[in-house]
């Protein structure tokens, strides 16, 4: 099992990661800024940890810091979008997808505006900061909003592609759910040179015994789990369901028919998240398949070092493999 994501939580590792999600947003927007003057960026006193300062340094007149006023920031972004701008709003997911939910719904989703919301440090990535900073409800909140697209990229390369797509061709509000920026790359490897397109899932590994459907940081852990399962004679298919809404129903139904068992994995409450979205697809299709949701089982996480929390909740590769084996019994 690789140790990068959960074992070596060090500054040296952080600096070495290519295209982490934490670094990507600001860098990508800075590159797009010259050709797209409509792009503006907005932060709530967290431009350094969210790295929007990379855009702000290059385009200071198009960068706005709102201090600790996340709700006002979202509403202001809606105002800018109504004038033709494309605002990218970023702060911790607990302060964006959860705290500012009412403003997102009323000011952004209801009028269907081109606001891009980037919730960082999702799930339990904040570790010792505790429940107030953990974001394990944001998928269910945002995907229940009409007009809202919900995306959870696996790594920085995927995020960069989807940010660019959102600027050039995609209409309507988008909630990007990204991690703390210390995740291992999934799409920077030669074997995974596939395009990440909003609304189109990626099958990263074929298999016939089981399908593991994951999003965000759990995609790489699902790949590790599949590798461990293969050593025990279980051939698992792995799907990166980076777009939770609108969901790629075709790839889900194909997997259900061909493998007969689907396990969803998410760093989120199983109520209303990725697993619930996949379950809805299966139930409405009438296809009979074994099914299990894995994540937080309607509970708040303990407080502690992220590595220990992921291991405790079986959200690392080894843990996912053990859940899969129990599920298949």
Domain 195-328 CATH class label: alpha beta
pLDDT value at position 176?
A: 96
pLDDT reading at 328 higher than 50: yes
Q: Which region among 13-17, 91-95, 168-172 has the lowest average model confidence (pLDDT)?
A: 13-17
Confidence of residue 20 (pLDDT cuts 50, 70, 90): low
- Architecture of the domain delimited by 11-177: 3-Layer(aba) Sandwich (3.40)
Q: Taking a C-beta distance cutoff of 8 angstroms, is the pair 167, 55 a contact?
A: no
- Asked whether the domain spanning 195-328 has the same topology as the one spanning 11-177, the reply is yes
What is the SS3 assignment for 20? coil
- Which of residues 67 and 86 earns the better pLDDT score? 86
Q: Taking a C-beta distance cutoff of 8 angstroms, is the pair 22, 120 a contact?
A: yes
Average pLDDT for 287-315: 95
The residue assigned the tokens 């003057």 is 37
Dist. CA 126–CA 68, nearest whole Å: 18
Domain ranges of the chain: 11-177, 195-328
Task: Starting at the earlier edge strand, list the strands of the sheet with 86-92.
Answer: 63-65, 39-43, 86-92, 116-120, 174-177, 149-151, 243-245
Dist. CA 173–CA 256, nearest whole Å: 30
- CA distances (Å), origin 168, targets 36, 38, 196, 204: 9, 11, 14, 26
Dist. CA 307–CA 225, nearest whole Å: 16
Average pLDDT for 29-36: 93
**pLDDT of 215-233, one tens digit each?**
999 999 999 999 999 999 9
Q: Taking a C-beta distance cutoff of 8 angstroms, is the pair 150, 175 a contact?
A: yes
Confidence of residue 44 (pLDDT cuts 50, 70, 90): confident
**pLDDT of 46-68, one tens digit each?**
777 667 878 888 999 999 999 88
What is the SS3 assignment for 202? strand
């Amino acid at each position: 099992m690789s140790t990068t994501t959960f074992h070596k939580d060090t500054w040296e590792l952080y600096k070495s990661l290519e295209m982490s999600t934490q670094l990507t947003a600001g860098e990508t927007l800075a590159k797009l800024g010259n050709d797209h003057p409509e792009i503006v960026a907005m932060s709530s006193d967290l431009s350094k940890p969210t790295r929007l300062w990379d855009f702000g340094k290059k385009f200071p007149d198009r960068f706005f810091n709102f201090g600790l006023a996340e709700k006002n920031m979202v509403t202001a972004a809606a105002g800018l979008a109504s004038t033709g701008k494309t605002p990218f709003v970023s702060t911790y997911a607990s302060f964006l997808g959860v705290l500012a939910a009412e403003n997102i719904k009323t000011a952004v989703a209801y009028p269907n505006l081109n606001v891009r919301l980037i919730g960082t440090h999702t799930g339990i990535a904040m570790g010792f900061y505790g429940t107030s900073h953990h974001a394990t409800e944001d998928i269910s909140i945002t995907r229940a909003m009409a007009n809202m697209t919900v995306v959870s990229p696996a790594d920085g390369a995927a995020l960069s592609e989807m940010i660019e797509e959102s600027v050039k061709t995609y209409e309507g509000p988008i909630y990007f759910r990204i991690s703390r920026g210390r995740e291992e790359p999934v799409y920077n490897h030669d074997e995974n040179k596939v395009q990440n397109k909003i609304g189109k899932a990626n099958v990263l590994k074929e298999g016939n015994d089981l399908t593991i459907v994951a999003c965000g940081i759990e995609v790489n852990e699902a790949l590790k789990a599949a590798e461990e399962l293969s050593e025990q004679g279980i051939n698992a298919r792995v799907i990166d369901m980076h777009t939770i809404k609108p969901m790629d129903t075709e790839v889900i139904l194909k997997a259900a028919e061909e493998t007969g068992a689907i396990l969803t994995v998410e760093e989120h409450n199983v109520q209303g998240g990725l697993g619930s979205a996949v379950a809805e697809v299966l139930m409405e299709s009438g296809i009979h398949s074994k099914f299990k949701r894995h994540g937080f089982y309607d509970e708040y996480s303990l407080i502690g070092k992220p590595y220990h929390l992921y291991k405790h909740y079986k959200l690392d590769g080894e843990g996912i493999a053990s859940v899969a084996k129990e599920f298949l019994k």
